[in-house]
Chains A and B, each alone.
Chain A
Amino acid sequence: MSTVAAERGRARIHWGRLARRHAWTAGVYVLLVGLILYWRTIPAQWGTFDVQSLAIDALPFAFAAMAQAVVIISGGIDLSIGSMMGLVNVVSAKYMFDATTAQPVSFREAIVLALVLIGGAALAGALTGLIITVTKVADIIVTLAMLFVWGGAALAVMQIPGGGTPLEFSKLAIGYTLTPWLPSGLVILAAVILLVWIPIRRRRPGLALYAIGSSRNASFLAGISVARTRIGAYALGSALAGMGGLALTATSGIGDALSGQYYTLNSVAAVVLGGVALVGGVGGLIGPVAAAFVLTLVKSIMILKGVDQNWAQVIQGTLIVLVVMIGGLALRQRGKNL
């Protein structure tokens, strides 16, 4: 994306530069395609059902990865993403289900509630960002505290899993669009990237996001409001986490206060695997989304293969370390050639 903008005004496209800048993302997609090709050979009858269940499994994870990526690009880290997802999950499942009639609310009401919750999540994220910028306490500490705040609130809202959601709402995540090969979850992901992320990325707020992650001092000297941009990053990240929480509701059909826990650290793993530098300023959202699919797929392949779940985790961790290590070596090689 960046390259397109950079090339405005000159017709020549630097293919080498383009390839170099997006090499990591391309690599993650190659890995994903490779895994899919292997995955196809395992079940006796691989088909649309498998594709749909992969999309269902990976959808909340993909949102968590995007949420974390936004914050990490800005030079921060958000440990409260998982519990924010859990909170939105229980609140949405509780209010999308009318307990008196034991019937879910209408689709229209569910959509309105979903939008309100995304807005609320954004405000909560802005609050986190505000605390960080005002108190100047480290991101990791404030968001760790927020992890407990949102996690506790989620349990207060719903102690045991329950609630429900209209079928039409669930279908947004578990149905398919046009062809059974195209799960609706993927369409939603693509829509969020195209309609939310790309416009921001292309405009000044997006540049500011990368700028403060790359060098806060230079950004400040360039006249960027660092505090406002950081707050914005946490708000956008939290809104994406809110969407992840709704994805949990839609894919599972119920609310569970603990359902988000898995994503707190796995979102960081997906971000790293997806080519975002933990120091900030580098990477995008498309890589982490692919990485979320890779990690989900690795898990399902291992289940299909009958690998012990504990060993599956060891293998998953090893994979992350290997990929990041190979990436690091490649970068060093590039540094030598310069």
Chain B
Amino acid sequence: MSLLTAREVSKRYGPVVALRSATLVVEPGEVHALLGANGAGKSTLVKVLTGVIRSDGGTILVNGEASSVSSPAQAARIGLAPVFQDPALVPDLTIEQNLRLTRTPVDEVRRHLRELDLDVDFGAQTMDVPLPLLRMIDLARALARNPELLILDEITAALPADLAERVFAVMSRQKESGRSTLFITHRLREVIAHCDRATVLRDGGDVGTLVPQEGGEEKIVEFMLGEEVARAAGSAEATPPRERIELAEGGPTALEVRSLEVGETLTDVSFALHPGEILGIAALEAQGQDALFDVLAGQQRPTSGEVLVRGEQLRARHPYDAIRAGVVLVPADRLQALLPQRSIAENIAAPRFNSLRRWGPVGIREERRRVRRAIEALSIDTRAQRQVRRLSGGNQQKVTIARWLANGFQTLLCFDPTRGIDVGTKRQIYALLRELASDGAAVLLFTSELAEIPLVCDRVVCLYGGRVTAQLDAAGADEATLLRAMHGLEREAAA
């Protein structure tokens, strides 16, 4: 008997069909991956399974018994323990209070955290605990309920490699004890290495279940994108390596950073970014990249050091100053940059309210023209255009890029722009960045996907402990080299 059978589950939000008819079967004692491009319906299916939302149709059987999961609390009672993508710990309570709130046995959580080799201060206020650690506490909390089915919704996206490894260890322990894990991720390598079976969703329906080890990444991508699209994307990737741009020594820089220092987090960071170039930043979690981007985008002031934009010093006191100097930010958290209740067009036009006719009426015709061009350039899915919060993550990210496209810029700061975004949209975004660069823009790109660096970047700067440990040509930066530099082993890497 299957542990979980969800059959023909459907859900629509107004005009947008999130799930057409999805079927998912999880057997006892397996690690099952749930895959799909953004907007394919993964998150919706997980929310239905865990009682966060109610489906419009379909049946759910747990251990052969029909169950209507009507709330997260009820899901927990029948043995489904989710770790959600959104933090499910209340920020103003301490960790210990959070556990009492959910009636979780504290000692059990403590035991699981010890097993995960983590030291957690239970008296600390949740808002003071770093995000990766919170995810692990969330995981320990789910484990403390001894779940039949552990549901991990993109847990590894916010985790550094060493913590991700511990999550995989948890999944195999679940399996050894005859319990199951439903694992949602965008990292196909993780799926191939750790999952027994995978169900792929596309456009709100399931396209099939496969054994990841057999087909490999290509097979999965094929399922996710549909065969034709996969072939097209594959051929795009097969194009010969692009020409290296030759930079004259002492040529103009778009952005230059000189011995930048921010408190304890950044020390003596210097690099230069030239027009037409994509410079990658590679770093493990919390090695100072956040502070670097905050300073460049004008959200934080450095302790010392200089930021030069086209040779002139920029002392940004506010993001507005940076934007005016042509330095604009695409953050990892899309919703941080967007006005979720407003339309796509308004979101794209928002930064323009500051310029041109600041005091007069907004030039509607001109605005519409620019917005339309940007939407077309990025092929944004405009079905749900009245409210940006209804768009999928990938489309939201496109809107944040489109807004700068419509407004003009010289330097684009991208902080992990593809976090939690599907392969297809990811490729589109990378292609777009290359295109922008060849049009003369400078791009500073921090990404947690190391494999993407040689594909997208010209050069790469590695940060470790707030210091630059290596500056490499991206072409020669394979994953092993990068990983060593990111762990502070720069001498060998540079040699």
Chain A residues near B72 (CB-CB < 8 A)? 220-223
Are B86 and A221 neighbours in the complex by a CB distance under 8 Å? yes
B94: nearest residue on chain A (CB-CB)? Answer: A6
Chain A residues near B52 (CB-CB < 8 A)? 220-221
10 shortest interchain CB distances as A-B pairs: A223-B73, A214-B92, A6-B123, A281-B92, A221-B88, A211-B90, A207-B101, A214-B90, A222-B102, A6-B94
**Can you identify 7 A-B contacts, CB atoms within 8 angstroms?**
A6-B123, A21-B125, A210-B90, A215-B90, A222-B89, A281-B90, A338-B128
Q: Name the contact of B84 in the complex, choosing from A3, A14, A221 (C-beta under 8 A).
A: A221
Are B93 and A214 neighbours in the complex by a CB distance under 8 Å? yes
The reply to whether the CB of A330 lies closer than 8 angstroms to some CB of chain B is no
Are A222 and B71 neighbours in the complex by a CB distance under 8 Å? no
Are B76 and A223 neighbours in the complex by a CB distance under 8 Å? yes
The reply to whether the CB of A7 lies closer than 8 angstroms to some CB of chain B is yes
Are A208 and B92 neighbours in the complex by a CB distance under 8 Å? no
Chain B residues near A207 (CB-CB < 8 A)? 93, 97, 100-101
Chain A residues near B418 (CB-CB < 8 A)? none
Are B92 and A210 neighbours in the complex by a CB distance under 8 Å? yes
Chain B nearest CB: distance from A280 CB in Å? 8
Instruction: Given A17-B123, A207-B93, A282-B92, check contact A217 B103 (CB 8 Å).
Output: no
Chain B nearest CB: distance from A172 CB in Å? 35
Chain A residues within 8 Å of chain B by Cβ, number? 31
Chain B residues near A214 (CB-CB < 8 A)? 90-93
Chain B residues within 8 Å of chain A by Cβ, number? 28
Encode B74-88 as 1/0 by CB contact (under 8 A) with A.
001000000010111
Q: Which of A196-221 contact B (CB under 8 A)?
A: 204, 207-208, 210-211, 213-215, 217-221
The reply to whether the CB of B353 lies closer than 8 angstroms to some CB of chain A is no
Beyond known contacts A214-B90, A215-B91, A222-B72: 15 more, CB 8 A cutoff: A6-B96, A6-B123, A7-B123, A14-B123, A17-B124, A210-B90, A210-B93, A210-B97, A215-B92, A218-B87, A218-B88, A218-B90, A218-B91, A219-B101, A223-B102
Chain B nearest CB: distance from A282 CB in Å? 6
Please, how many angstroms separate the alpha-carbon atoms of A204 and B96 in the complex? Answer: 12
Please, how many angstroms separate the alpha-carbon atoms of A87 and B290 in the complex? Answer: 55
The reply to whether the CB of A224 lies closer than 8 angstroms to some CB of chain B is yes
The reply to whether the CB of B271 lies closer than 8 angstroms to some CB of chain A is no
Chain B residues near A208 (CB-CB < 8 A)? 101
Chain A residues near B93 (CB-CB < 8 A)? 207, 210-211, 214
Q: Name the contact of B71 in the complex, choosing from A3, A17, A223 (C-beta under 8 A).
A: A223
Instruction: Given A220-B52, A220-B72, check contact A5 B88 (CB 8 Å).
Output: no
B127: nearest residue on chain A (CB-CB)? Answer: A214
Spell out B's residues near A (CB within 8 Å): 52, 71-73, 76, 84, 86-94, 96-98, 100-103, 106, 122-125, 128
Please, how many angstroms separate the alpha-carbon atoms of A222 and B97 in the complex? Answer: 12
Question: Counting chain B CB atoms within 10 Å of each CB, which of A217, A221, A281 scores highest?
Answer: A221
Chain B residues near A6 (CB-CB < 8 A)? 94, 96-97, 122-123
Please, how many angstroms separate the alpha-carbon atoms of A210 and B123 in the complex? Answer: 16
Are B123 and A204 neighbours in the complex by a CB distance under 8 Å? no
Q: Name the contact of A222 in the complex, choosing from B90, B92, B124 (C-beta under 8 A).
A: B90
Chain B residues near A3 (CB-CB < 8 A)? 123
B51: nearest residue on chain A (CB-CB)? Answer: A223
Chain B nearest CB: distance from A216 CB in Å? 9
Chain B residues near A338 (CB-CB < 8 A)? 128
Q: Which of A268-293 contact B (CB under 8 A)?
A: 281-282
Are B101 and A5 neighbours in the complex by a CB distance under 8 Å? no
Q: Name the contact of B86 in the complex, choosing from A7, A8, A204, A217 (C-beta under 8 A).
A: A217
Please, how many angstroms separate the alpha-carbon atoms of A215 and B125 in the complex? Answer: 14
Please, how many angstroms separate the alpha-carbon atoms of A6 and B121 in the complex? Answer: 10
Please, how many angstroms separate the alpha-carbon atoms of A10 and B52 in the complex? Answer: 36
Chain A residues near B101 (CB-CB < 8 A)? 204, 207-208, 211, 219, 222, 224
Please, how many angstroms separate the alpha-carbon atoms of A224 and B122 in the complex? Answer: 20
B128: nearest residue on chain A (CB-CB)? Answer: A338
A222: nearest residue on chain B (CB-CB)? Answer: B102
Chain B residues near A318 (CB-CB < 8 A)? none
Chain A nearest CB: distance from B141 CB in Å? 9
Chain A nearest CB: distance from B107 CB in Å? 9
Chain A residues near B88 (CB-CB < 8 A)? 218, 221-222
Are B89 and A5 neighbours in the complex by a CB distance under 8 Å? no
Encode A164-205 as 1/0 by CB contact (under 8 A) with B.
000000000000000000000000000000000000000010
Instruction: Given A3-B123, A17-B123, check contact A219 B90 (CB 8 Å).
Output: yes
Q: Which of A1-38 contact B (CB under 8 A)?
A: 2-3, 5-10, 14, 17, 21
Chain A residues near B92 (CB-CB < 8 A)? 210-211, 213-215, 281-282
Question: Counting chain A CB atoms within 10 Å of each CB, which of B86, B87, B123, B125 scores highest?
Answer: B123
Chain A residues near B128 (CB-CB < 8 A)? 338
Chain B residues near A215 (CB-CB < 8 A)? 90-92
Encode A41-74 as 1/0 by CB contact (under 8 A) with B.
0000000000000000000000000000000000
Chain A nearest CB: distance from B101 CB in Å? 5
Please, how many angstroms separate the alpha-carbon atoms of A211 and B125 in the complex? Answer: 12
Are B91 and A5 neighbours in the complex by a CB distance under 8 Å? no
Chain B nearest CB: distance from A275 CB in Å? 13
Chain B nearest CB: distance from A164 CB in Å? 45
Please, how many angstroms separate the alpha-carbon atoms of A7 and B103 in the complex? Answer: 18
Please, how many angstroms separate the alpha-carbon atoms of A223 and B103 in the complex? Answer: 10
A20: nearest residue on chain B (CB-CB)? Answer: B125
A17: nearest residue on chain B (CB-CB)? Answer: B123
Chain B residues near A9 (CB-CB < 8 A)? 106, 122
Chain B nearest CB: distance from A187 CB in Å? 30
Please, how many angstroms separate the alpha-carbon atoms of A279 and B59 in the complex? Answer: 39
Please, how many angstroms separate the alpha-carbon atoms of A267 and B241 in the complex? Answer: 69
Encode A218-247 as 1/0 by CB contact (under 8 A) with B.
111111110000000000000000000000
Instruction: Given A220-B52, A222-B88, A281-B92, check contact A2 B102 (CB 8 Å).
Output: no
B83: nearest residue on chain A (CB-CB)? Answer: A221
